Chains A and B, each alone.
Chain A
Amino acid sequence: MFPGADAPRAEADYALVGAPLDASTSFEPGARFGPDRVRRYAEAFDDYDRHTDQQFSELALHDHGDVGPTADTGEYLTFLRGTCGDFREAGAVPLLVGGEHTVTVAGVRAVEPDVFVCLDAHLDLRESYAGDPLSHATVTRHALEVADRAVVLGARTGSEAEWERASEGDVRAVAPADVSDWEPDFDPDDSVYLSVDIDAFDPAYAPGTGTKEPFGIEPREGRRVVREVAPFAEGFDVVEVNDRDDGQAAVLAAKLLRAFVYSHAADR
């Protein structure tokens, strides 16, 4: 269980769902260990958050446990979308912990946001990768089937076709150097889904991820984005943490998940 996430399901305002999918990982595998790692490396955190003056264990978070994948990724995403949808119907904000980035597709389909905001090194705008239309390199493309627009913060790599797609009006790619100046630009009625791919951060800070990409954003910049987007967000995930480091990626992911909950709860 994620430390402090001991609210009963029926009383939950936030529902953490572990999604250890590791099917399409294209370089270093291990995302299947992400949910366990994130829970483990959250153990040392203080319950109290000075920034919002709240105790984490009082914010009604329920840990649903992991929903493990079966062979058919499409079917698994449908299951996961249903699980997240159940929590939403019960009034809880779903918090997915990956697993590879593909699990975000389930979260986005459950929330049906107007805006998809993503911290990510990669544009993820491919139609398919290695013949797989549900690859972790296609997430933003799938999100745009649901959301009106996407903002990819920390984007620094993609194929030529992806950059062309990113130049269209419904996508905004913000380079790492510009993330510190980015401000949320949502309409008051917009619903937002926030996804954190841990590889948005420089691999110096989060080496435990499948497709490392140098020259990434700083943890403090990412935390500011999470804190500022959280009040608008109806769903959240943090993905692509694997077990190939000493906990740096997992501890950053866990801290950002907590930052999201603190900031979202403070705005309620």
Chain B
Amino acid sequence: MATKQVEVRDLDEGSYVMIDDVACKINSYSTAKPGKHGSAKARVEAEGVFDGKKRNLSQPVDAKIRVPIINRKQGQVVSTSGDEAQVMDLETYDTFTIALPDGVDLSPDDDIEYLEMEEQRKIV
């Protein structure tokens, strides 16, 4: 999986992090000191980018952690069927099927933005 290593102190709300080997988006980042002279500890509350599940982690701010490399790409809707859409990537012209988020209504020829990490994709 395409990831890079950073220190926990480099994380921020809205950025991505790997928790339990799953790419997550950070909803909340906060710090506290565990005790006298202890290095500060950071708490990250996040949810899976592709599965929506909530996950937490608590680590010293100088601990190393991996963040996923997620590409934001442009696509065009070819067709829709139920809660899925056939989309063509506007750079590579690859076509693939992608799930429609709740409440999103798309029509053929609509331009979309989507997140891609390896074989996982999600409409933004």
Distance in angstroms between the alpha carbons of A78 and B36 in the assembled complex: 20
Distance in angstroms between the alpha carbons of A95 and B43 in the assembled complex: 20
B106 at the interface (CB under 8 A from A): no
Secondary structure dominating the interface of B: strand
Number of interface residues of A (CB under 8 A): 16
Write the nearest CB–CB distance from B49 to chain A, whole angstroms.
20
Residues of A within 8 Å of B33, CB to CB, are 67-70
Residue of B nearest to A81 (CB): B30
A48 at the interface (CB under 8 A from B): no
A49 at the interface (CB under 8 A from B): no
Residue of B nearest to A66 (CB): B35
A80 at the interface (CB under 8 A from B): yes
Distance in angstroms between the alpha carbons of A72 and B58 in the assembled complex: 17
12 pairs, A vs B, C-beta closer than 8 Å:
A66-B35, A68-B38, A70-B31, A70-B32, A72-B31, A75-B30, A76-B30, A79-B30, A79-B42, A79-B43, A82-B28, A83-B58
Distance in angstroms between the alpha carbons of A80 and B45 in the assembled complex: 12
Please state if A67 and B56 are interface contacts (CB–CB under 8 Å): no
Please state if B34 and A65 are interface contacts (CB–CB under 8 Å): yes
Distance in angstroms between the alpha carbons of A79 and B38 in the assembled complex: 16
Please state if B34 and A67 are interface contacts (CB–CB under 8 Å): yes
Write the nearest CB–CB distance from B12 to chain A, whole angstroms.
12
B123 at the interface (CB under 8 A from A): no
B112 at the interface (CB under 8 A from A): no
A132 at the interface (CB under 8 A from B): no
Chain B, range 21-48, C-beta contacts under 8 Å to A: 28-36, 38, 40-43, 45
Distance in angstroms between the alpha carbons of A143 and B38 in the assembled complex: 30
A86 at the interface (CB under 8 A from B): yes
Distance in angstroms between the alpha carbons of A65 and B43 in the assembled complex: 16
Residues of B within 8 Å of A69, CB to CB, are 32-33
Residues of B within 8 Å of A75, CB to CB, are 29-32
Partner pick for A68 among B32, B45, B56, B58, CB 8 A cutoff: B32
Please state if B56 and A86 are interface contacts (CB–CB under 8 Å): yes
Write the nearest CB–CB distance from A215 to chain B, whole angstroms.
36
Write the nearest CB–CB distance from A108 to chain B, whole angstroms.
16
Given A78-B28, A82-B28, A86-B56, verify A70-B34 contact (CB < 8 Å).
no
Would you give the 0/1 interface string for B2-20, flagging 1 where the beta carbon is closer than 8 Å to chain A?
0000000000000000000
Partner pick for B45 among A66, A70, A77, A82, CB 8 A cutoff: A82
Distance in angstroms between the alpha carbons of A78 and B31 in the assembled complex: 8
Please state if B30 and A78 are interface contacts (CB–CB under 8 Å): yes
Given A75-B30, A76-B30, verify A82-B43 contact (CB < 8 Å).
yes
Distance in angstroms between the alpha carbons of A94 and B2 in the assembled complex: 39
Residue of A nearest to B33 (CB): A68
Would you give the 0/1 interface string for A52-96, flagging 1 where the beta carbon is closer than 8 Å to chain B?
000000000000011111101001111110110010000000000
Distance in angstroms between the alpha carbons of A69 and B33 in the assembled complex: 6
Residues of B within 8 Å of A65, CB to CB, are 34-35
Residues of B within 8 Å of A67, CB to CB, are 32-34
Additional A-B contact list (17), CB under 8 Å, known A68-B35, A77-B30, A79-B31: A65-B35, A67-B32, A67-B33, A68-B38, A75-B29, A75-B30, A75-B31, A75-B32, A78-B43, A79-B41, A79-B42, A79-B43, A82-B28, A82-B30, A82-B45, A82-B56, A82-B58
